[in-house]
């Protein structure tokens, strides 16, 4: 009698390794000779159709951390800005799989991906934002309605192309033009022209290339330039040349990428001049914090503030700290400055007596120095019970140093606060000033 055990064992091993190869992607199933993209590469990625690559944990997720508290904070920020004459427009960028689901492979289902759920998860966030009276722009719908062949996102990178940027800009401009105050704003005619094709650096492509035998698609697209019709030599300044422009754009590398011409397209479709304060690598708050704590914002606020953010960015990631800064800066309702004494030989430490000052729960401390190179501030609170509490604030190298810091005292107040000691990373030119501001 024939022993079938070796045959069954061989078939079992073949099935296991075949399934593993199908799940992980091997050389034979990859158009670029890639392997281990799904289990070793950083970030773990999935090779789709026509050379499109998707990050598994970012581009294909079906749930986004948009808590009720984050929506409440965003709604309050919108309300405070509106009271001061600025309309906040929140523009969540859909993920690559939400904007271009047609190029996902069948294997995406192994990771729980569902096309309908992906689209609904984006729409749910938009609906919740609108229900809280937040002016949120749906960027997913126009992208899904567009032909996928347009290449809305780069094949080997997670950023949108100029075509994706253009669709998003038009959707935002349509919302701007629908606002009551739009008709009274001075209009400017713009034109956009094609330049040469541009190759952009991509960290994602470089990381994935290490696991692929053949060269991955280059992150290349047509570059565009938007100029005023009546000023052919003047392009739309993407780095904030004019603070008086009716539109201010804050956001991530999606807004800051030169190849995307995002700010230019918004100006073209809205007929309004725009200043772009977006920051690449500044996380979800870096750009808006840099702008709203600046003197440009306080001295000449825009009519519209567009805040672009990828849908997967968690607005609750850093707790209440960034929201306190944004709300206090938006309100800028401050009491007269308190006396600040310079202490120490280094001229970088200052003392503030708070023994006779009553701090309300809705007040934050604004520390300001005219020195816009200051990036670090350490605050030590001396309490009436003899204890000390401290906090440290840091403006990263990619953020603008504005010389202003806002922070709440309530978390430090385990007992009445007698005094504060302020320490900067170096002696600030012109000294420092401290005020209590409501938020």
Q: Is residue 56 one of the residues assigned to a domain?
A: no
pLDDT digits (tens, 9 = 90+) for 82-115: 999 999 999 999 999 999 999 999 999 999 999 9
pLDDT digits (tens, 9 = 90+) for 115-151: 999 999 999 999 999 999 999 999 999 999 997 566 9
Based on the fold, state whether residues 264 and 395 are members of the same structural domain: no
- pLDDT for 11 beyond 90: no
- CA distances to 159, 183, 238, 286, 342 from 253, rounded to whole Å, are 8, 31, 12, 11, 40
The Cβ of residue 171 has, within 10 Å, a number of other Cβ atoms equal to 19
- 20 as an active site residue: the answer is no
Q: Is residue 4 one of the residues assigned to a domain?
A: no
Based on the fold, state whether residues 342 and 315 are members of the same structural domain: no
Based on the fold, state whether residues 190 and 244 are members of the same structural domain: yes
Name the domain boundary from 268, 298, 320.
320
Confidence of residue 425 (pLDDT cuts 50, 70, 90): very high
The more confidently predicted of residues 364 and 238 is: 364
- pLDDT for 307 beyond 90: yes
| Residue among 70, 148, 253, 419 flagged as catalytic | 253
pLDDT digits (tens, 9 = 90+) for 265-294: 999 999 999 999 999 999 999 999 999 999
Confidence of residue 411 (pLDDT cuts 50, 70, 90): confident
Based on the fold, state whether residues 377 and 238 are members of the same structural domain: no
Q: What is the model's pLDDT at position 27?
A: 52
Confidence of residue 373 (pLDDT cuts 50, 70, 90): very high
Q: Is residue 92 one of the residues assigned to a domain?
A: yes
Based on the fold, state whether residues 355 and 300 are members of the same structural domain: no
pTM: 0.89
Q: What average pLDDT does the structure give for the chain?
A: 90
Q: What is the model's pLDDT at position 182?
A: 98
Domain count of the fold of the chain: 2
Q: Is residue 14 one of the residues assigned to a domain?
A: no
Q: What is the model's pLDDT at position 148?
A: 59
Contact 215, 209 (CB under 8 A): yes
Name the domain boundary from 298, 320, 342.
320
3-state SS string over the chain?
CCCCHHHHHHHHHHHHHHHHHHHHCCHHHCCCCECCCCCCCCCCEEECHHHCEEECCCCCCCCCCCCHHHHHHHHHHHHHHHHCCCEEEEEEECCHHHHCHHHCCHHHHHHCCCHHHHHHHHHHHHHHHHHCCCEECCCHHHHHHCCHHHCCECCCCCCECHHHHHHHHHHHHHHHHCCCCHHHCCCCCEEEEEEEEEECCCHHHHHHHCCECCCCCCCEEEEEEEEECCEEEEECCCCCCCCCCCEEEECCHHHHCHHHCHHHHHHHHHCCCEEECCCCCCHHHHHHHHHHCCHHHHHCCCCEEEEEEECCCCCCCCCCHHHHHHHHHHHCEECCCECCEEECCCCCEEEEECCCCCCCCCEEEEEECCCCCCCEEEEEEEECCCCEEEEEEECCCCCCCCCEEEEECHHHCCCCEEEEEEEECCCCCCCCEEEEEEC
Based on the fold, state whether residues 262 and 287 are members of the same structural domain: yes
Based on the fold, state whether residues 162 and 215 are members of the same structural domain: yes
Q: What is the model's pLDDT at position 346?
A: 76
Dihedral class, residue 250 (left if φ above 0, else alpha if ψ from -120 to 50, else beta): beta
- 253 as an active site residue: the answer is yes
Based on the fold, state whether residues 261 and 402 are members of the same structural domain: no
Based on the fold, state whether residues 311 and 197 are members of the same structural domain: yes
| Residue among 78, 138, 156, 159 flagged as catalytic | 159
Q: Is residue 169 one of the residues assigned to a domain?
A: yes
Query: Which residues make beta-bridge pairs with 136?
Result: 90
Name the domain boundary from 264, 296, 320.
320
| Residue among 59, 138, 157, 245 flagged as catalytic | 157
Domain region containing 410: 333-438
Based on the fold, state whether residues 413 and 359 are members of the same structural domain: yes
Confidence of residue 234 (pLDDT cuts 50, 70, 90): very low
pLDDT digits (tens, 9 = 90+) for 16-67: 333 444 445 455 589 999 999 999 999 999 999 999 999 999 999 999 989 9
Q: Is residue 424 one of the residues assigned to a domain?
A: yes
Based on the fold, state whether residues 262 and 160 are members of the same structural domain: yes
The Cβ of residue 266 has, within 10 Å, a number of other Cβ atoms equal to 31
- CA distances to 116, 117, 191, 311, 376 from 62, rounded to whole Å, are 10, 7, 38, 11, 38
- 159 as an active site residue: the answer is yes
Based on the fold, state whether residues 140 and 280 are members of the same structural domain: yes
Domain of residue 383, CATH code: 2.60.120.1380
């Amino acid at each position: 009698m024939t022993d079938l055990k070796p045959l069954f064992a061989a078939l079992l091993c073949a099935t296991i390794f075949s399934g593993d190869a199908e799940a992980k992607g091997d050389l034979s199933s990859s158009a670029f000779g890639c392997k281990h993209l799904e289990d070793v590469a950083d970030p773990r990625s999935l090779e789709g159709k026509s050379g499109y690559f998707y990050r598994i944990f970012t581009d294909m997720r079906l749930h986004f951390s948009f808590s009720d508290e984050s929506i409440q904070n965003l709604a309050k920020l919108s309300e405070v800005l509106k009271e001061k004459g600025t309309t906040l427009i929140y523009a969540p960028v859909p993920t690559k799989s939400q904007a271009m689901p047609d190029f996902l492979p069948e294997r995406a289902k192994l990771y729980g991906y569902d096309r309908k759920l992906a689209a609904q998860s984006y729409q749910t966030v938009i609906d919740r934002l609108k229900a809280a009276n937040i002016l949120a722009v749906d960027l997913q719908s126009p992208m899904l309605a567009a032909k996928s062949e347009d290449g809305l996102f780069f094949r080997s990178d997670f950023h949108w192309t100029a075509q994706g940027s253009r669709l998003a800009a038009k959707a935002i401009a349509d919302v701007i033009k629908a606002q009551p105050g739009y008709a009274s704003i001075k209009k400017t005619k713009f034109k956009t022209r094609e330049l040469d094709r541009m190759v952009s650096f991509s960290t994602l492509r470089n990381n994935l290339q290490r696991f692929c035998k053949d060269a991955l698609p280059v992150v290349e697209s047509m570059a565009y330039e938007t100029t005023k019709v009546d000023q052919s030599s003047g392009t739309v300044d993407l780095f904030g040349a004019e603070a008086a422009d009716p539109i201010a754009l804050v956001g991530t590398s999606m807004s800051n990428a030169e190849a995307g011409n995002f700010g230019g397209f918004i100006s073209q479709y809205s007929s309004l001049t725009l200043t772009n304060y977006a920051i690449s690598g500044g996380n979800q708050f870096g750009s808006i914090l840099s702008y709203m704590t600046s003197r440009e914002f306080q001295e000449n606020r825009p009519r519209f503030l567009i805040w672009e953010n990828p849908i997967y960015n968690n607005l609750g990631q850093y707790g209440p700290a960034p929201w306190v800064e944004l709300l206090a800066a938006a309100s800028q309702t401050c009491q007269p400055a308190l006396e600040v004494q310079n202490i120490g030989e280094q001229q970088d430490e200052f003392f503030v007596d708070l023994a006779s000052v009553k701090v309300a729960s809705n007040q934050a401390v604004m520390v300001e120095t005219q020195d816009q190179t200051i990036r670090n501030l350490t605050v030590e609170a001396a309490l009436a019970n003899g204890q000390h509490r401290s906090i440290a604030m840091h403006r990263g190298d990619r953020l603008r140093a504005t010389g202003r810091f806002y922070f709440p005292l309530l978390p430090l107040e385990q007992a009445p606060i007698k005094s504060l000691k302020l320490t900067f990373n170096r002696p600030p030119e012109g000294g420092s000033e401290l005020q209590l501001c409501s938020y």
